[in-house]
Amino acid sequence: MSKLSLVVASGLLGPAPARAHPRCATLSACSSTTPNTNLDRNPSMTPERIGLVQQGFRAVAPIRTEAAAIFYRRLFTIAPELRALFGSTDMAAQGNKLMASLGFVVQGLKQPDIILPAIEALARRHAGYGVRDVHYEIVGQALIETLEEGLGDAFTPRAREAWQAAYTMLSQVMVAASRTSERPETLP
């Protein structure tokens, strides 16, 4: 089993569905149920951009706790009203979960078929947390500002473009998936 499959199997992105999707024997064999996500053929995620995003995340990894703190500080500065969504949340634990899930996505950019079902499940849980489409843009802004602050000069214009493309792709997939619900296990 690959490292990535292990991450998926261990439920890093939260409780796994009973089965990845109807008709799929295993998560790695599972294809998306979300229409038009186009994750695996996204032309904006060139190999160069994937490399830049992965390189940037490696640079952030040693300061992940601080990066998560910067992220939420930025987020609540941009949109103080979002604090209400995290009313009873342990923010240190939440920061760890966020960084772990971002790491999972970044690591899987070259294997979108593996990460897509987990991203869709994450998006559906977010709909239940009260997250709305408009919030994804705000989170994207906070993420870019965090990278700017955390990476300094290493966050070059090309790295910024790469992260923006990656986040746009991720948020489009999540917004689309948040409108869907898991199909019933038994299909005609």
Residue numbers at the binding site for ligand HEM (CB under 6 A): 13-14, 82, 85-86, 89, 94, 97-98, 101-102, 122, 125-126, 129, 131, 135-136, 139, 170-171, 174
Pick 136 or 155: Cβ nearer ligand HEM: 136
Q: Which is nearer to ligand HEM, 129 or 185 (CB)?
A: 129
- Nearest distance from residue 55's CB to ligand HEM, in Å? 19
Which single residue brings its beta carbon nearest to ligand HEM? 14
Tokens of 83: 């604090």
Q: Give me the least distance between CB of 140 and ligand HEM, in Å please.
A: 7
**Identity of the residue, 21 or 124, whose beta carbon is nearer to ligand HEM in the bound complex:** 124
Residue-wise burial string across 19-46, b where 16 or more C-beta atoms lie within 10 A, e elsewhere: ebbeeeeebbebebbbeebebeebeebe
CB of 110 to ligand HEM, least distance (A): 18
**Cα–Cα distances in Å, from 15 out to 92, 146, 154?**
20, 28, 35
Contacts of 164 (CB under 8 A, 6+ apart): 140, 144
The least CB distance from residue 103 to ligand HEM, in Å, is: 10
Q: How far is CA 130 from CA 47, 83, 84, 133, in A?
A: 34, 12, 10, 10
**By three-state DSSP, how is residue 117 classified?**
helix
CB of 122 to ligand HEM, least distance (A): 6
Judged by beta carbon, residue 38 or residue 172, the one nearer ligand HEM is 172
